[in-house]
Structure 1
Amino acid sequence: MTRFFSYLLLFTSFAITATPSRLALSDYFTETWSTRSGLPHNSINSVAQTADGYLWVATWEGLARFNGREFKLFTRTEIVGLPDSGLRSLISQPNGELYIAGARGGISLRKAGRWQTLSSAKAMVNHLLKTRSGQLWLALEGQGVVYRQHDSAVEHQVLTDVSAYRLVEDQTGTIWAATSDGLYKIRAGKAVKVPSSSGLPNTSVYTLLLTKSGTLLVGTEQGAWQFNGKRFESINPVLSNQSISSLLEDSQGDLWFGTINNGVFRLSELGLEQLDADAGLPANRILSLLQDREQSIWVGTNAGLFRLREAPFTNWTKKRGLAGDYIRSILAHSDSSIWVGSSSGLNRINDNQSVAVQQADNTEPLSVLSLAEAENGQVWVGTYTSGLMKVVNNQIFPVKDRTNGLLSNEVRALLFDSKNRLWIGSANGLSTLNEDGQLSVYSKSDGLVGNFIMALSEDSYGNIWIGTGVGVTLYNATTHSFRTLTFPEQFSAEYAFGFYQDGNTMWMATDRGLIRYHLIREEMQLFGREQGLPVDKLFQIVEQDQSLWLTSNRGVIQVNKAQLNNLLDNPQTVSNASVSLQIYDEADGMLSAQANGGSNPAATIHQDERLWVATAKGAAVITPKRLKEASQLSLPTVIEGFFVDGKAIDLPVAGDVLELPAGISRVSFHYAGLSFIMPQRLNYQTQLSGFNNQWLDRSQLTITEYTNLPPGEYTFKVRAGYPNSEWQNNEQTLRFKINSFFWQKMSFKLMMFIGFILLGYLLYKYRLYHYKRIEIELTEKVAQQVKDLKKQADAFAYQANHDQLTQLPNRRSFDLWLSSHFAEFKRDNKILAIAIIDIDHFKSINDNWSHMIGDKVICEIAELLKSAMLHREHIARWGGEEFTLLFPNCSALQAQQFCENVRQTIAAHDFSAIAENLHVTVSFGVTDSRQVNDYDRLLAHADQALYQAKSNGRNRVEVLNASAL
């Protein structure tokens, strides 16, 4: 970048006497794409934008189409008839057509979304020109210039034995050709070389440009030249030593020059500026230049695609003259200057120039934490280690530190109140400095909620708001006393980083979001993560253009203030989604999304309505009007793909209806809004007429899918919109029809309906005919059915209460008995014990042998339990591998002894008849009714005891709270 600024100063052709109407190259936001981003090759031979909004990139490995999010590759496979994937030139036409010219002479035309192959040329096509009369002119490598009449295959040779690089047609119909042999002028099919006496150097000409005013510009091996009607003049003497490879006139009339070895130059009212690899270009060899409809400049290099655009954010850093990049405080002065405090010093920015403000008696770097302007315009400075200072005659002088009364040398907040008294917030308390130099100090013992002061503000009633690391303290200007403003416990907020008063509302930036406090009603609401805020911690609040701008560690957040107030006023009825919120970060031009806080002011608004934000990589400057301008640009919407049951279908010509076969289950649409400024932030709405005629919000989703659509005709619509702006009339439509199976057609349904009526009539007649016989048969069967029903009812009753596998009572039977008898036991002061049994490692039995073996194990266990419970009641299969035992009139310890015997019996049982090497154990959980009042708790205690048995190694009996029992 040092080299860049030296060029900027050296080549400026006139002084800047007013605010420039265009950005310096250093203020552009830049991005680079390469093969890592999806490009097929890093040499960007040509860049073009078609009328539909797509950006097209020609490389040596194919054609790439860019929609702002991703590149789609087209090679010889997709472009039928192209002899080579290496592409040299792209020419877009106003009617939406796109010509592509290849390395082996191949020429293709994309028209209405379809590729058309034209006859190949005899050599590589460096450039292609379609004249106003419809002729197709070709600039060929080593084969001169030829033309064809109206895309015919017949070529007419105009120049031979030279390499032609560029062709343009002027208003008179004259063709100008840039060749390795110089510049040629072609009229009526005859070429005449422009002599050196015309002012051009006798050297190769690489590129040509006709400006909007009709002036011919010529890029040669020895500089750039313009034709004044009689002869050629050098555009700028500095360019005389440059080999100019490409030319561009932008929308402001500025000229851009791509060079072969030294990057890009721009000639504007700022003078001649250079951008090269040292200043961020991927490489110094420039192959192509383009300005798109959003005014971005695209630079094709041999190392990738590069873009410059006027981003909402620009940045001031050390490279632009600041003392340091880590900015802590920014002050908008009443004289329209901006004061920037960093960890390495203080700067004053005025008229786009930065001036360092030095210490009067110290050369060590000064770490600035806070800034304030006094009534007389004097700037006071709070520092990290040097206490309180002030600026006099552009020098910084010490005022107060710990040696003469200040509580701490770490001064994070400064405030001149309405009485011209200076409030000083430090890391160890609060101080005030009167005009007579008297210093007063305050700490927690005086009523402060905490001593670590980070923010100070005065409201319209003269009260001082003090933000600390543990809450907020208010200094009452009437009673001259401190009181703590307590945050509700559910807010969980502690740090107060900044304040902003709006009428009777005080907004507070905290570590849990944005808090609104009504000064009269003393009501407090929180706008945090639960309400849609994307971050917890906010540092500074600035209002501009009906929006609140909030700084955070993840960027700058813009919130619609009216919508936010409506949400906070009506939290029960207003949706969080109704608040327009946008977060800006590195993608919008910030060098770092980390905005700094804990010092004040960390953000401010300038008189020109630009916002300045302190960040970890310089002072970020946001120009809100650029956001408005971006959202007012025309936004093309395109349907990029249509998929039926996962298979891509060719898109129909506009207006046509695409017929789909019957029986499809899924259709999906891929679409995009063609904005290259904020593609990730575009919002989408879709509508499917014939299914749902309402526009549905899709947020940033670029795919919509429908499943199981019934047969019929549908029209899919999609539209794209910029964030925080009205929807444009840019919807794209796709009409399609899903055909029916024959049984889905109305005629078939009508025939089936009539058939059912006839069949019903015949059945009715049949029933009448056999009525008498049926009546007799029914009478005979009634008695038998009554008998059968009783028998079946008995069987159902048994099945309802018994497990089919083991024939034991099931859980339902067990629950009925327990629920109906538990109260009796409690009422009669009787004991009821219960045990829940679980087969150990039963899943391993299923996994290692089979589920059939598992079922046999369950049955075997059931039989063993039956044998053990011959003289006891209520054994049941609880479910799966679990059983339950009830022991009326038994304590848990008595039940434990019985269960231990059963456990040992099962553990010793031989299961080899079921499966070889099979060994089965069980675990028991035992409890009784003495410590519970309902049977649910009894079951829960038994289950808890079973869990203890499993946790303690299984194959054991555990009694819940055995010692107490």
Structure 2
Amino acid sequence: MVRVVSCIFLFLCFSAVAESARLSLSDYFTETWSTRAGLPHNSINGVAQTKDGYIWIATWEGLARFNGREFKLFTRTEIPGLPDSGLRSLIAMENGDLYIVGARGGIALRSQGGWRALPSSSAMVNHALVTEQGELWLALEGQGIVYRASETATEQKLLDKLSAYRLLQDKTGVIWAATSDGLYQIENKQVSKINEDSGLPNASVFTLLLTESGTLIVGTEKGAWQKKNNKFVAINPVLNNESIASLLEDAQGDLWFGTINKGVFRLSSLGLENLAADDGLPNNRILSLLLDREKSIWVGTNAGLFRLREAPFTNWSQSRGLASDYVRTVLSHSDGSLWVGSSNGLNRIENGKLTTLTQAYEKDPLSVLSLTEDKQGGVWLGTYTAGLMKVVNGQIYPVKNRSNGLISNEVRAVLFDAFDNLWVGTAAGLTKIDPAGQIHSFTTEDGLAGDFIMALNEDDHGRLWVGTGVGVSIFDPVTEQFKTLEFPTQFSTEYAFGFYLDGDKMWLATDRGLVRYNLSTDKMSLFGRDQGLPVDKLFQVIEQGDSLWLTSNRGVIQVNKAQLVALLDNPEKVQPMSVSMQLYDEGDGMLSAQANGGSNPAAVLHSDGQVWVATAKGVAIATPERLKEASKRRLSTVIESFEVDGKPITLPVGNEVLSLPAGVSRVSFNYAGLSFIMPGRLNYQTQLSGYNQQWVDRGRLAITEYTNLPPGDYTFKVRAGYPNSDWQNNEQVLRFKIAPYFWQKTSFKLFILVAVLFAAYAIYKYRLYHYKRIEIELTEKVEQQMHDLQTQADAFAHLANHDQLTQLPNRRAFDIWLSENFSQFQRDNKTLSIAIMDIDHFKLINDNFSHLIGDKVICEIARLLRMNFPDEGYAARWGGEEFTLLFPYKNAEEAARLCEIIRLEIAGYDFSELADSLSVTVSFGVADNAQVADYDRLLSHADNALYNAKNNGRNQIFIYNQGCITLD
């Protein structure tokens, strides 16, 4: 089955020069677009690619232009003079022009970025042909064939009362016409019908194709036929019962046939293959076919646009014969075959042919977890429930299980070491079977880091590396002891899923990224999330070419090995961004991005250079050689729109320079790299000569904007590039100039300069003449202003730090003093006390005597504070009816005694002058710095003491942690 996938990544297919093996239709990567994606209609009557790289789509509701990211719609509104938006065909010319034809005889030409409607014909135009002589030939619905000596000349009719569908001119100048009445040949305006004696069936002809070799292919109501020696022969008997509506020859010379109701057929060295709606096509009615310059096949159907391409990954899945889609392990055999272990059995793949192996004694499905090969080429497998088994003469035989020596039947890793010992890693421990058949088992009691074994490997010193769910153990064959590999704490690593020995380095795939261990120095380094790795958990490490391939639950990651090594060797000097890496997933041909792990080997490098990866939907096979073709592909860049202050401007033709008016504040450019395989992954650079001569990286941003550009001449350049490749010479250029205002012109600036110089000279003379008088006046003014400023500054400083009502320092001043001095008192180990004083029942004073009396009470208390407060202290109004008192060099008891003097003074003071029967008392909370580390805590203690004083009856002093104090 051909899988339809909604996202796309790399276009990397085989080189156009180098011959490569064909993919079966089931191995192509596919994608579908419909009206939901922006198409104006789902019937795709025609598809074409113009010289600039755009893909154009003709539908019944207008024309769509595709840049790989979005569709731009052209209808009668955008093409004045076109009688109807319904289109039947597109004709792309070598010079970049595009003809569109369709309903109501509509014909239009796009040339040099502009549209021009041509005189309409008398009926719907199914197709058009521009001959070598410049004539315009039209295939009409129901009215035959007409031609014009030029685009606007009077039509001449050659055939009538039939429907013409397709026109083609061969290399000899002969014009062939596909019609409802069969095939017609037109030579020197002389028309002749190809009769049945030629070999063609008596049937309608729908389409025509001239191959690269010059062979004429005819698609009819009864199959496809090719012209050989003036005779037509059937291309394939299977097609003789099919109505062929469209034809295509691809880059390898294979023929593609679009049918009326059976989908697409391809005839190649693989035979005749069919792709239908059951295989992912939107619809079995095929209306058009196109091969683009990236070698992708575009299929226009009655239900949307479909595209096939060769992707970096192909797949073997259950639909191709695998025992199960859920693959756990793959083995590259020395004989060139591949072995695939899945949840439902074991398969062998050789030369593209798949064999399923069966058990010798059991018929139930076998879940295979691990594979290995012995020195004689024998294949051993570890299973989920049946223990250790071996393939003998094409059948699977049991070897060891829990009943005869294994610790567990769940075998996730098997390995033959240099001494021909067979190591079996199970879910409950490790078992060694020596060449004599003796069994030795090891668990955590014997020094293993964990009993759940997932990976085994042997280094060049003969040591066995054991990956478990709680770390890594290393078995020394000399001492026969296990040593636990201690990961640095900051790695936060536990699981070890796979190993790769690289000289004196061991690479470990773990649950926190890729760990590199130096066998010589015992040093470890990590390449994980912090270094740019897109995932935490890795399952397998494969080296191929200049890259390391890492498998994960989110796909396969290709990392440039040299750059990675440079980063790990010099993490302080090398930036993580310098490491090139690419994540491959479903958009690159994988049926599932979930690469499986926890059993071994989960991925292998085959002898042909391909990387085979076990996934949740079969085996994904990467062909790294395809990646090298990336930088060789031609990539077009186009400037799609130019806006000035938010208004679109018609793009110029050729090297024309756009003239913009004065006062332009913003110009913006929209551009696109025309790759239809990876449009969302392209990178862009821009340059605006006249503003900045350097190329500026724009990443994947397809829009650039400049604001407030001064008047002048500018040249905007943009280029697109593929990820991890050099920039191509594909710059697109747009030149424009911004006109100046009259005051921005050079002549006006010179006039202003002369006037300014003259005025400066006159002012200089005047100032020189009056210098003495002005000097005196300025001196007096400066002195007066300095005096005024100083007075004002003093007033502002006083206001900023004093309470306006009481003229005491305010809370701001108190906080400043405390913050600036508290640390010094602490360092010098000197005592400092603080008291918070609160007027008792102040709300009742406001309520019973008015707020005015309350303010007078506050002022009177402030006056009493100033009278009774020690000189070395500091009193401030904290806010409302609260005051704060600082007592440097006093402990809490000493400060409380001073507060007692103030309390008694206030309690005994006669407030009757302010209001009859008015009496006022205050409460204090006192604390010192003996038990605090910061002044905030000191304030908190004082506030807590005040709270207790008020709760215990008021008009008293409370020391923090000592209670209410009565002082004699």
Give the TM-score range, shorter chain: 0.7 to 0.9
Q: Which residue number corresponds to residue 278 of structure 2?
A: 278
CA distance in 1, matches of 2:926, 2:198: 112
1:178 lines up with 2:178 in the alignment: yes
| Superposed displacement of residue 714, structure 1 | 2.1
RMSD of Structure 2 on Structure 1 (CA): 3.3
- Equivalent positions of 1:468-479 (< 5 A) are 468-479=468-479
Q: Which residue number corresponds to residue 884 of structure 2?
A: 886
8 Å contact kept, 2:805–2:859: no
Larger radius of gyration: 2
CA distance in 2, matches of 1:247, 1:778: 95
Q: Which residue number corresponds to residue 440 of structure 2?
A: 440
Change (3 A) 1:774 1:940: same
8 Å contact kept, 1:932–1:938: no
> What do the CA deviations read for 1:41-69 (whole angstroms, capped 9, x no partner)?
11110000011111111111111111122
8 Å contact kept, 2:836–2:943: no
Q: Which residue number corresponds to residue 24 of structure 2?
A: 24
- Equivalent positions of 1:207-246 (< 5 A) are 207-246=207-246
Q: Which residue number corresponds to residue 63 of structure 2?
A: 63
- Choose 234-243 or 721-730, whichever is displaced more: 721-730
CA distance in 2, matches of 1:694, 1:925: 72
1:298 lines up with 2:295 in the alignment: no
1:690 lines up with 2:690 in the alignment: yes
Change (3 A) 1:32 1:944: farther
> What do the CA deviations read for 1:387-445 (whole angstroms, capped 9, x no partner)?
11111111111111111121111111111111111111111111111122211111111
Q: Which residue number corresponds to residue 662 of structure 1?
A: 662
CA distance in 1, matches of 2:815, 2:621: 72
Q: Which residue number corresponds to residue 741 of structure 2?
A: 741
CA distance in 1, matches of 2:856, 2:111: 82
Q: Which residue number corresponds to residue 10 of structure 2?
A: none
- Equivalent positions of 1:247-266 (< 5 A) are 247-266=247-266
> What do the CA deviations read for 1:467-523 (whole angstroms, capped 9, x no partner)?
111111111233322101111011111111111111111111111111111110111
- Equivalent positions of 1:734-813 (< 5 A) are 734-777=734-777, 788=788, 791-802=791-802, 809=809, 812-813=812-813
CA distance in 2, matches of 1:859, 1:759: 63
**Percentage of identical aligned residues:** 64
What secondary structure is seen at the aligned counterpart in 2 of 1:574? coil
Change (3 A) 1:130 1:934: same
> What do the CA deviations read for 1:730-786 (whole angstroms, capped 9, x no partner)?
121222223323333333333333333222222222223223433554566577556
8 Å contact kept, 2:892–2:959: no
TM-score scaled by structure 1? 0.87
CA distance in 1, matches of 2:632, 2:852: 77
1:388 lines up with 2:388 in the alignment: yes
Change (3 A) 1:783 1:570: closer
| Superposed displacement of residue 642, structure 1 | 2.0
Change (3 A) 1:871 1:431: farther
Change (3 A) 1:709 1:358: same
Change (3 A) 1:399 1:776: closer
8 Å contact kept, 1:507–1:514: yes
8 Å contact kept, 1:875–1:883: no
1:334 lines up with 2:334 in the alignment: yes
CA distance in 1, matches of 2:880, 2:665: 45
CA distance in 2, matches of 1:412, 1:139: 67
8 Å contact kept, 1:332–1:604: yes
Change (3 A) 1:471 1:747: farther
Change (3 A) 1:775 1:421: closer
Change (3 A) 1:84 1:875: farther
| Superposed displacement of residue 887, structure 1 | 2.9
> What do the CA deviations read for 1:522-541 (whole angstroms, capped 9, x no partner)?
11111111111111111001
Q: Which residue number corresponds to residue 832 of structure 1?
A: 834
Change (3 A) 1:141 1:941: farther
Aligned residue pairs, count: 894
CA distance in 2, matches of 1:219, 1:752: 79
CA distance in 1, matches of 2:459, 2:425: 17
CA distance in 1, matches of 2:854, 2:685: 63
CA distance in 2, matches of 1:609, 1:709: 54
| Superposed displacement of residue 671, structure 1 | 1.6
Change (3 A) 1:377 1:740: same
CA distance in 1, matches of 2:837, 2:386: 76
What secondary structure is seen at the aligned counterpart in 2 of 1:747? helix
Q: Which residue number corresponds to residue 604 of structure 1?
A: 604
Look up the equivalent residue of 1:151 and give its one-letter code.
E
CA distance in 2, matches of 1:944, 1:387: 75
- Choose 286-295 or 931-940, whichever is displaced more: 931-940
- Choose 566-575 or 810-819, whichever is displaced more: 810-819
Look up the equivalent residue of 1:833 and give its one-letter code.
A
| Superposed displacement of residue 576, structure 1 | 1.3
8 Å contact kept, 1:683–1:721: yes
What secondary structure is seen at the aligned counterpart in 1 of 2:466? strand
List runs of 5+ in structure 2 lacking aligned partners.
4-18, 840-850, 867-873, 904-922, 949-957
| Superposed displacement of residue 812, structure 1 | 4.6
- Equivalent positions of 1:345-744 (< 5 A) are 345-744=345-744
Q: Which residue number corresponds to residue 318 of structure 1?
A: 318
Look up the equivalent residue of 1:141 and give its one-letter code.
E
CA distance in 2, matches of 1:273, 1:778: 100
Change (3 A) 1:789 1:532: closer
Structure with higher RCO (Cα < 8 A, 6+ apart): 2
| Superposed displacement of residue 36, structure 1 | 1.4
List runs of 5+ in structure 1 lacking aligned partners.
4-18, 838-857, 902-923, 950-958
> What do the CA deviations read for 1:607-661 (whole angstroms, capped 9, x no partner)?
1111100000110011111222243211111122222333322222232222223
CA distance in 2, matches of 1:470, 1:864: 75
8 Å contact kept, 1:455–1:598: yes
Q: Which residue number corresponds to residue 155 of structure 2?
A: 155
Look up the equivalent residue of 2:425 and give its one-letter code.
G
CA distance in 1, matches of 2:261, 2:928: 93
8 Å contact kept, 1:658–1:736: yes
TM-score scaled by structure 2? 0.87
What secondary structure is seen at the aligned counterpart in 1 of 2:315? strand
| Superposed displacement of residue 886, structure 1 | 1.4
Change (3 A) 1:814 1:325: same
Change (3 A) 1:61 1:762: same
What secondary structure is seen at the aligned counterpart in 2 of 1:186? strand
Q: Which residue number corresponds to residue 930 of structure 1?
A: 929
Change (3 A) 1:212 1:772: closer
8 Å contact kept, 2:834–2:942: no
Q: Which residue number corresponds to residue 189 of structure 2?
A: 189
What secondary structure is seen at the aligned counterpart in 1 of 2:685? strand
What secondary structure is seen at the aligned counterpart in 1 of 2:814? helix
CA distance in 1, matches of 2:337, 2:296: 30
Q: Which residue number corresponds to residue 77 of structure 1?
A: 77
What secondary structure is seen at the aligned counterpart in 2 of 1:245? strand
CA distance in 2, matches of 1:369, 1:884: 78
CA distance in 2, matches of 1:805, 1:621: 85
CA distance in 1, matches of 2:160, 2:942: 97
CA distance in 2, matches of 1:61, 1:176: 29
Q: Which residue number corresponds to residue 204 of structure 1?
A: 204
8 Å contact kept, 2:835–2:942: no
Look up the equivalent residue of 2:121 and give its one-letter code.
A
8 Å contact kept, 2:76–2:85: yes
- Choose 148-157 or 861-870, whichever is displaced more: 861-870
| Superposed displacement of residue 295, structure 1 | 0.9
| Superposed displacement of residue 672, structure 1 | 1.6
CA distance in 1, matches of 2:660, 2:380: 74
CA distance in 2, matches of 1:636, 1:330: 41
Look up the equivalent residue of 1:533 and give its one-letter code.
L
CA distance in 1, matches of 2:834, 2:537: 59
| Superposed displacement of residue 150, structure 1 | 2.4
CA distance in 2, matches of 1:805, 1:764: 54
